[in-house]
Amino acid sequence: MAGVSTATVTRALSTPEVVRPDTRERVREVAASLGYHPNRAARGLITGRTGNLGLLVPDLANPFFPSIVKGVQARAHEADHAVFLADTDEDVAAEAGLVRKLAKQVDGMVLCSPRMAEPELRKLSAEVPTVLVYRRIPGVPSVTAEFLDGMRQAVNHLVALGHKEIAYVAGPRSSWANRERVRSLRAVTRKAGVELAEMGNVAPQFHGGVSVADRVLAAKVTAVIAYNDLVALGLLHRFAARGVAVPGDVSVLGFDDIPLAEMVHPALTTVALPKEEAGQAGVDLLLRLLDGHQEVRRELPTQLMVRGSTGPAR
Amino acid sequence: MAGVSTATVTRALSTPEVVRPDTRERVREVAASLGYHPNRAARGLITGRTGNLGLLVPDLANPFFPSIVKGVQARAHEADHAVFLADTDEDVAAEAGLVRKLAKQVDGMVLCSPRMAEPELRKLSAEVPTVLVYRRIPGVPSVTAEFLDGMRQAVNHLVALGHKEIAYVAGPRSSWANRERVRSLRAVTRKAGVELAEMGNVAPQFHGGVSVADRVLAAKVTAVIAYNDLVALGLLHRFAARGVAVPGDVSVLGFDDIPLAEMVHPALTTVALPKEEAGQAGVDLLLRLLDGHQEVRRELPTQLMVRGSTGPAR
DNA sequence: TCGCTCCATGAAAAGGTTTACACTGATCGT
DNA sequence: ACGATCAGTGTAAACCTTTTCATGGAGCGA
């Protein structure tokens, strides 16, 4: 319709600088008037790039993840990539299979804090360009946050309030994030001369916090740090039911800063992890990886959000 | 490698019954040992089916939607389809564009309560097979819930508790769901002889509830039904801050039954809408639509969840 | 034994792009 | 005025499947 060959059409659209300006404009106008867009499947066939990214999350119902998905989504669309989403429903066994299935149709994958074992994950990352979000494995590009610094802020805050004995409610043993948090917390409390009572491991969910709340009280601590906000909310819930005042009797501190943290009463003091930013950074790293660059790792800052659930020690 | 042509390979894998059993097995073994899987893009080129579905949600940060996404996701994977996710960030203007971009790469789209204007939506559904979730438009397949019945349960519950004057905090004017809820609520309250005070419209979010809470109190009602749970939680938050007892002074009732509803104190009484089920049903309808069946509409049941935020009228 | 049917398989086209290569005409230097 | 260069464009192959059509051989009835 523009009186040119298909080759010129393709050039006018994807490498505009090589066609004469008037031809280019004509082609583009006709394309627009026809609503023509190149078929991505056909293009992928020859370029080897699909323009699609895969994103894997363990459980979208955990409010931590939707924010990450949003970040990935937004950044990917900016870069004109579409996003395949897979939710494993915390099914570790299914994870690898899902990734492999998706791998065929994408240029690369963003894996969001998978529980998968390290060797498996490493193998996967050799098969398909992969970026890890909130998990770190040597040699695999990853986005994480400064857990150590976050913990330091949290503990310093509690110390400043006069707390000397702190409980930590641990998350799943197989979770990398939990191991990191424990490690950071031990280091920080040792340095601060604070006594640390570890308990758990609980499921990283509301009911996990509910189930461990009574043990926390029995430990006679004046403050408790939870693996994440959901667990902290579970603690708050059970404390309220037992008539334990927060922060009067015990201070509660979470991790993640999910939206709910602000909505409950008392609002939850928590260490905010970058979520949308992490998703965006994940996509950035992945796209750069696809372009041959080899940026290995990015570590984002954390920020203590002081709200109502922490106060002076009893 | 199996000593057969590509044609036989494709047959052995996709229409096994037409090749001789021994050939079939040989091909399959070789395929497995090579880790061969047909390239979906190339297949799509000729079959016209991509095996991909598109899913559009207005805001993944609204806890109502992740559940739906999970449902869509799960059902799609069962049917061996992958899911493209798009989050419009409540940007109505971008919605149609996003859908059109995605439309090229998918067999069909599940549109989750889009704000888009009806004519636009109708046009879109002519361009690409479409199923609407939580929105109904004549002639377009859709999945909704029995709002009227849900409202009846809610109002009957309040009436049984002795409430005679009820406020409704409306959601966005452009939202179909809001219009439905208002319509149902008016019908039900009229029949029950209950006085209805409507206020709003507010954003369907926590801060929407916070911002309207004082007006609700000023209206001197004994119970309030919120557009959705987030708004209800906003109300609870502000009531708590003002020292208004729930349900002592005022009963609060939400809509949706998002996970948070159970986690706050007092736990929120709410009308549960099927979420995962709606997502699954959406995929079911879409797949059936793609097979030429024309199931037009599905309406799922709702269920009042009585929790702590409602009690006898003051 | 002949001809027919039917089953299993192969050859080739088709699907919508991109890209290597070839070609044309104009510009430039001499 | 001639050849070389270069910009702009077209031709055709390639990407990886699926599917239509053709082919060959076996089985069967007469």
By the 8 A CB rule, do B157 and B223 touch? no
Same domain, B175 and B26: no
Q: Would residue A314 count as lying in a domain?
A: no
Q: Is the CB of A93 under 7 A from strand D?
A: no
- Residue A188 confidence (pLDDT): 95
Q: How far apart are CA A255 and CA A305, in angstroms?
A: 10
Q: Is the CB of B43 under 7 A from strand D?
A: yes
Q: Would residue A312 count as lying in a domain?
A: no
Q: Which residue of A41, A70, A102 is in closest CB contact with B61? A: A70
Residues by CB within 7 Å of nucleic chain C, which ones? Answer: A 6-7, 9-11, 13-15, 36-39, 42-43, 45-47; B 3-8, 11, 18-20, 23-24, 42, 45-46
Task: Identify the H or E element spanning A56.
Answer: strand A52-57
Same domain, A117 and A166: no
Q: Which residue of B has its CA nearest to A102?
A: B82
SS3 B34: helix
Same domain, B249 and B280: no
Instruction: Find which of B105, B211, B262 to mutate to test the A interface (most A CBs within 10 Å of its CB).
Output: B105
Q: How far apart are CA B189 and CA B283, in angstroms?
A: 35
Nucleotides of strand D under 7 angstroms from a protein beta carbon: 7-12, 14-20
Same domain, A201 and A139: no
- Cα-Cα-Cα-Cα torsion A85, A88, A94, A96, nearest 10 degrees, comes to 50
Residues whose CB is less than 8 angstroms from the CB of residue A286 and which lie 6 or more positions away in sequence, other chains included: A53, A107, A108, A109, A110, A129, A130, A131, A141
In chain A, residues with a C-beta closer than 8 Å to the C-beta of B77 are 86, 98
Nucleotides of strand C under 7 angstroms from a protein beta carbon: 7-12, 14-20
Q: Would residue B204 count as lying in a domain?
A: yes
In chain B, residues with a C-beta closer than 8 Å to the C-beta of A265 are 236-237, 240-241, 264-265
**pLDDT tens digits, residue range B175-207?**
899 999 999 999 999 999 999 999 979 999 999
Q: Would residue B116 count as lying in a domain?
A: yes
Q: Which domain holds residue A167?
A: 147-273
- Residue B314 confidence (pLDDT): 84
A19 Cα distance to chain centroid:
43
Q: Would residue A130 count as lying in a domain?
A: yes
In chain B, residues with a C-beta closer than 8 Å to the C-beta of A41 are 41-42, 44-45, 50, 105
Q: Which residue of B82, B234, B240 is in closest CB contact with A105? A: B82
By the 8 A CB rule, do A252 and A232 touch? yes
Same domain, A205 and A220: yes
- Residue A3 confidence (pLDDT): 78
Q: How far apart are CA B232 and CA B223, in angstroms?
A: 11
CA–CA min distance A306, chain B (Å): 18
Same domain, A112 and A200: no
In chain A, residues with a C-beta closer than 8 Å to the C-beta of B260 are 260, 263
Total domains present in chain A: 3
Same domain, A153 and A265: yes
**pLDDT tens digits, residue range B285-314?**
999 998 888 777 899 999 999 999 999 998
Judged by CB atoms closer than 8 Å, whether chains meet at B60 and A41 is answered as no
Q: Which residue of A has its CA nearest to B76?
A: A86
Q: Is the CB of A269 under 7 A from strand D?
A: no
In chain A, residues with a C-beta closer than 8 Å to the C-beta of B45 are 39, 41-42, 45
The encoded tokens of residue B251 equal 């009963």
- Residue B113 confidence (pLDDT): 79
Name the closest residue (CA) to the C1' of nucleotide C14.
Answer: B46
- Residue B24 confidence (pLDDT): 85
Q: Would residue B44 count as lying in a domain?
A: no
Q: What are the pLDDT tens digits along chain A (314 aa)?
A: 777 888 888 888 888 888 888 888 888 888 888 888 888 889 988 988 899 999 999 999 999 999 999 999 999 999 989 999 999 987 888 888 888 888 888 999 999 977 888 898 998 888 889 999 999 998 899 999 999 999 999 999 999 999 999 999 999 998 899 999 999 999 999 999 999 999 979 999 999 999 999 999 999 999 999 999 999 999 999 999 999 998 999 999 999 999 999 998 889 999 999 999 999 999 999 999 988 887 778 999 999 999 999 999 98
Same domain, A94 and A140: yes
Is pLDDT at B239 greater than 80 in this prediction? yes
Is pLDDT at B94 greater than 90 in this prediction? no
Mean pLDDT (whole number) for B10-16: 86
Is pLDDT at B95 greater than 80 in this prediction? yes
Q: Which residue of B has its CA nearest to A50?
A: B41
Q: Is the CB of B156 under 7 A from strand D?
A: no
Mean pLDDT (whole number) for B109-135: 90
The encoded tokens of residue A175 equal 């979770």
Q: State the CATH number of the domain containing residue B130.
A: 3.40.50.2300
Same domain, B200 and B238: yes
Same domain, A108 and A195: no
Tell me B16's DSSP state.
G
CA–CA min distance A137, chain B (Å): 26
Q: Would residue B232 count as lying in a domain?
A: yes
- Protein B38 CA to nucleic acid D23 C1', in Å? 27
- Protein A20 CA to nucleic acid C30 C1', in Å? 29
Q: Is B188 exposed, middle or buried (0-12, 13-18, 19+ CB in 10 A)?
A: buried
Same domain, A87 and A233: no
Q: Would residue B312 count as lying in a domain?
A: no
Cis ω on the peptide bond leading into residue B301 (within 30° of 0)? Answer: no
Q: How many CB pairs under 8 A join A and B?
A: 129
Same domain, A70 and A170: no
Tell me A265's DSSP state.
S
